[in-house]
Structure 1
């Protein structure tokens, strides 16, 4: 019997994908490129997942931030 290998992250659909957004934490405005659910657990016994948003600014540089920090512009 094989146990399922946990995935370190998985993509999440989001209504603002490919739309213009602002990261309220940094003030960066850009296009929402992806939303992922990422496992940031410090031990295999206790899972801890977060949702991260990846925003590409006009310079082409991409940042990640908490999904809760994203707002439409």
Structure 2
């Protein structure tokens, strides 16, 4: 299984004048994990929902979640 949010730990210099961010993160889009479009990929039931989500296929839906909001599992 894959996760769309990746974390890394940058180098922190002992001479850094500012308080460093110890853990940084970024998101990868779901289409990176799908090679070719598989046949019979499920679609959203209504065009309204597909337009709201921005994609016709639920497998490609990826909302942006702010990593600095409370409730994130990696803080």
Q: TM-score, normalised by structure 1?
A: 0.26
Higher strand share: 1
Q: Using CA pairs below 8 Å that are at least 6 residues apart, which structure has the higher relative contact order?
A: 1
Higher helix share: 2
Q: TM-score, normalised by structure 2?
A: 0.25
